[in-house]
Structure 1
Amino acid sequence: MADSPSFEVIVLGPTGGPCEDRTTGLLVRTKSTNWSPGSIVAVDAGTMLAGIIRILKPHFPSSNSKTSRANPVLKEGPMKGLNLPFVTAEANAAYVFRELIGAFLITHPHLDHVSGLAINTPIIEAGSGPKPVAALPSVLAAIKNHVFNDVIWPNLSDEDGGAGLLTYQRLVEGGNPRFGNGESRGYVRACQGIMTKCLSVSHGRCKQRYHPESGVHHRVGSAVFNHGEPRLLRPRAISVDQPSEGYYSPARSPRLIPGEPMLATVESSAFFLRDHESGNEIIVFGDVEPDSISLEPRNRRVWETAAPKIANGKLRTIFIECSYTDSIDDVYLYGHLCPRHLVAELTVLADLVMYSRDNQYAGTDRKRKRPILGESLLDENSPRNKRTLSSSSGKARSSSSRGPYNEPLDGLSDLYTFEEFDPPDPTRWATVETPPLAGLSIYIIHIKETLKDDGSPGPRIIQELNDHSDAVRLGCSFSLPNTSEAISC
């Protein structure tokens, strides 16, 4: 493990609503850079300027004070070390937004992740050049067609005759292999000192009625009836290498379920952020659902990418949502996680970390069966494995089901439809000296506040996570970041 932290993450908004002033927004910078222009990357922007002002306000006696600055550099607080070129919190917050934030990484286009970006963008000065907004093509298409479209909000982008304050950077899903070498292969520049790679995850399902690239109102990837016969539309996945031609991407394919309406996966993202100097990384998830109930399970690919980095100590922090307590039924998750499902996902990650450790210390000569998807949750003696494999509607699925990247699922997709939670085997890592996820810090974001007299559900979510984790001996720690908190990781 590295001895010193490489990143500082400032939490502007840690919740998923309903209060609009604390919705998802993180500022990330590397410890190897100072507070210099372009040294911060914002991951999501549900809350942005309001959150920065909230951080700076305590250091200014009055927002109307015009007195000279006695302390031009912040001596304390989440933005300690920041130079203050102006005399009010508001003016300095605008400075941070305009000059210090080098780019916005958007996980998905829901309002609680982009509303701050829309409302705040007009303060960007055209003379400083357009601010990059980087995301998967489908995410940018939704922002372009349904936010910055001169109807919902002015077109402030540099496309289609807009004002030129923003520029869209379409990321290659899974990383662009033309960039970087070795461990940094596929990563692209996010801001000064930070590289990023984006992987697609699933945020539930919907009946999409518009193509996510063109904005034409039909169901993307779903049945469009042509002379009474349904056909499949192939959604485009545009990369920076192919700006005008589409290609078929299994990660964005529709899922056809006999007897069910045509459904499409709501695409979200997980961003790997890499410190260019140390090579250390963190992961920031957008909204995400468990693979066990997803139309298109995609989380495993994130865990496969993360596992060797955790095993060698280069990845020690994950920011991930857990929106509800375990009291919620699966049918009401709406593309989110709760403690039982998050720990189930982390158990898959733990299997992969143990596999990586075995290879790391024993080399390739030691043969160990690579864990299959969800293996840690499926004891061969479990009653679940003795049930007839069927869908939740009672109709058997085809044994030729394939995963989101076109790999055979070996029949496991049939198990995803069971809604009950089978706890992992509590003796799985009982004899392991070091728990598989020891040293990994997991920060829980996007909690859905209930605004009831009994308080926030956050503490209960953490307790349930700890209970599930202790039962299987994962070894990781769970924390709730506070609004305006700076986290060193």
Structure 2
Amino acid sequence: MPRRAAEGGGKAVQRASSRGDSAFQVIILGSSGGPCEDDVTGLLVRSTATNWSKNSVVAVDAGILMSGIGRILERYTTIERDEKTKIERPTISGGPFVGLDIPNLTARANAAYIFREIIASILVTHPHLDHVSGLAMNTPAVEFQSGPKTVTALPSAIAALKNHVFNDITWPNLSDEDGGAGMITYQRLVDGGNMRLGRGEGKGYVKVCEGLVTKCMAVSHGSCKQRYNPETGKHHRAESAVFTTESVLLPSRRVSIDASELRTFSPAHYGNSGKDAALATVESSAFFIRDQLTGAEVIIFGDVEPDSISLEPRNAGVWEAAAPKIASGSLRAIFIECSYSDSVEDGSLYGHLCPRHLILELSALASKVLGCQKRRKESSESRKRKRRESAPGLPSELTEQPLSPKSLRPRKPSKSEAEIATSRPAKQDETKVQAQPASLEPESERISIEQPSPVDQVPPLHGLRIYIIHVKESLMDGASPREQILAELRERAEEAWLGCEFYAPSSGDGVFI
């Protein structure tokens, strides 16, 4: 029941220097990777510029969704009663949803309101149950007057949702495809972004809610044995041998399928020939989410394995896309899994990360950032050199200093003047360079790549925040796995001289970025 004052629970975790300079708020509905079902992966993301308007929030994964929202509202909903009119009015007194106007008295009714009216779409990184079970359970709460809820993902994830979840067998077909109920609609993304959409830094991104756009990149999440389908000529990843993505091969979504129809699609039909079973990569994804007002970005990963032990390493492509954004300062944070501590061996990771592998991945990212910073520095120096060469004979202090509106363009100096200029002590030149406005030489360009200064050099990932999600709970007394993982990450990151900050938010936290 709603309380008359906020008590315990989640908190608005402050990570930016102030809420005023935050572009994003990320609300953690579920932060673990199981095995308990009440805290599995689910995040809400909004642009702070949209001020809780209709369709201003996007969910990233939905292992938990409405129940996570309701749990937070239960802690922070206060009922105020007007003694004159006897009317009761609900308000949110604290927590990550503070500032949102709610119309109902109960937390569950307001959770449904947020799901229907405030959340525009659900981004699905991959179709494992700990990332989509809340989506399936909550979809019947969609009301037709608010329109279908958009489910956005790579085609492989949507194929799995169609064939294995919303298939009239596991769960009713609530989609608007194949004669379904029309409560959800699928938005299929292009791996790496649709280059026909957007422009400039936003090229390839698609709108997912008010104020936010996204692009998606496929990553690998372990491997499993998949059957070879002679009809399609491949080992299927997201599809099973019974349900394929090709509608012409799919007999029906009837609850009962005739045995003669089923035989064609049965794994047993293929026997045990050499290419019947093979290891195939389980596909997951990482979403780049961009705030349209500020150009700031965050990356949110689904489950992901390290490139070093992957059958199909794909993280390097994500880091390649992320590095220039870090070098320019637009990428503010990465949400990424670290399911286990370093006590778990590689053979038991099952497509997940642990601190030793996450630090190696971030080191690969740092290397690419250093390369971007070096190129930015070289480009800046090249532009300065071209400006000097465009006006030969001018003293360097005249060519580099901007002219005021009232200044006369300097005449070409005489030989004696040129000799005086070139004979000036180096100390004066250094003083003049130091007097240049700071904006002309960004901090990222001051990092010396080839000749590092122990005093002035900045670590390559300085200022980047890493938020750890999908921590597997031990269900044992003693130290929290989250605390152990954080300690191992921070120690290894210091040794690797990365410069990033690590956090492990809990369910109910609100992070401003």
TM-score, normalized by the shorter chain, greater than 0.5: yes
**Of residues 451, 469, 476 in structure 2, which corresponds to 1:452?**
476
2:41, 2:63 within 8 Å by CA — same for their partners in 1?
Answer: yes
- Paired AA for residue 354 in structure 1: L
**Of residues 437, 441, 463 in structure 1, which corresponds to 2:487?**
463
Does residue 484 of structure 1 match 2:508? yes
Pairs within 5 Å for 1:247-262: 262=278
Q: SS of the counterpart of 1:99?
A: helix
Equivalenced residue count is 390
- Paired AA for residue 379 in structure 2: G
Pairs within 5 Å for 1:194-209: 194-209=212-227
Q: SS of the counterpart of 2:44?
A: strand
- The alpha-carbon distance between structure 1 residues 235 and 120, as it changes in their structure 2 partners (threshold 3 A), is closer
| 1:2 to partner: Cα distance | 9.9
Question: Paired residue for 1:38?
Answer: 55
Q: SS of the counterpart of 1:102?
A: strand
Q: SS of the counterpart of 1:207?
A: strand
1:429, 1:435 within 8 Å by CA — same for their partners in 2?
Answer: no
Question: Paired residue for 1:23?
Answer: 40
- The alpha-carbon distance between structure 1 residues 299 and 469, as it changes in their structure 2 partners (threshold 3 A), is same
- The alpha-carbon distance between structure 1 residues 61 and 193, as it changes in their structure 2 partners (threshold 3 A), is closer
Higher alpha-carbon Rg: 2
Q: SS of the counterpart of 1:44?
A: strand
| 1:275 to partner: Cα distance | 0.2
Pairs within 5 Å for 1:16-165: 16-60=33-77, 68-70=87-89, 72-165=90-183
- Paired AA for residue 141 in structure 1: A
For residues 412-455 of structure 1, what are the alpha-carbon distances to aligned partners after superposition, in whole Å with 9 as ceiling and x for unaligned?
xxxxxxxxxxxxxxxx9884710000000000000000100114
- Paired AA for residue 148 in structure 1: F
- The alpha-carbon distance between structure 1 residues 110 and 86, as it changes in their structure 2 partners (threshold 3 A), is same
Compare 449-458 and 91-100 and name the one that shifted more. 449-458
| 1:59 to partner: Cα distance | 2.9
- Paired AA for residue 363 in structure 1: S
Q: SS of the counterpart of 1:311?
A: helix
Does residue 361 of structure 1 match 2:352? no
Q: Distance in 1 between matches of 2:485 and 2:453?
A: 25
Q: SS of the counterpart of 2:226?
A: coil
| 1:296 to partner: Cα distance | 0.6
| 1:48 to partner: Cα distance | 0.3
Question: Paired residue for 1:10?
Answer: 27
2:42, 2:63 within 8 Å by CA — same for their partners in 1?
Answer: yes
| 1:73 to partner: Cα distance | 4.2
Structure having the larger proportion of residues in helix = 2
Q: Distance in 2 between matches of 1:337 and 1:270?
A: 14
Q: Distance in 1 between matches of 2:236 and 2:327?
A: 39
1:11, 1:485 within 8 Å by CA — same for their partners in 2?
Answer: yes
Q: Distance in 2 between matches of 1:365 and 1:259?
A: 56
Q: Distance in 2 between matches of 1:264 and 1:352?
A: 29
- Paired AA for residue 295 in structure 1: L
TM-score in terms of structure 1 length: 0.75
Q: SS of the counterpart of 1:154?
A: coil
- Paired AA for residue 128 in structure 2: H
Q: Distance in 2 between matches of 1:262 and 1:309?
A: 38
Question: Paired residue for 2:251?
Answer: none
- Paired AA for residue 186 in structure 1: G
- The alpha-carbon distance between structure 1 residues 302 and 2, as it changes in their structure 2 partners (threshold 3 A), is farther
Q: SS of the counterpart of 2:194?
A: coil
**Of residues 424, 428, 433 in structure 1, which corresponds to 2:457?**
433
| 1:34 to partner: Cα distance | 1.4
Q: Distance in 1 between matches of 2:68 and 2:501?
A: 26
Q: Distance in 2 between matches of 1:362 and 1:166?
A: 50
Q: SS of the counterpart of 2:278?
A: coil
TM-score in terms of structure 2 length: 0.72
Q: SS of the counterpart of 2:373?
A: helix
Q: SS of the counterpart of 1:134?
A: strand
Q: Any unmatched runs of 5+ in structure 1?
A: 223-233, 237-257, 367-427
- The alpha-carbon distance between structure 1 residues 111 and 430, as it changes in their structure 2 partners (threshold 3 A), is farther
- The alpha-carbon distance between structure 1 residues 126 and 263, as it changes in their structure 2 partners (threshold 3 A), is same
Pairs within 5 Å for 1:236-247: none
2:220, 2:281 within 8 Å by CA — same for their partners in 1?
Answer: yes
Compare 258-267 and 39-48 and name the one that shifted more. 258-267
Q: Any unmatched runs of 5+ in structure 2?
A: 1-15, 80-85, 239-243, 247-273, 383-450
| 1:221 to partner: Cα distance | 7.5
Question: Paired residue for 2:466?
Answer: 442
| 1:209 to partner: Cα distance | 3.7
- Paired AA for residue 16 in structure 1: G
- Paired AA for residue 325 in structure 1: S
Q: SS of the counterpart of 2:88?
A: coil
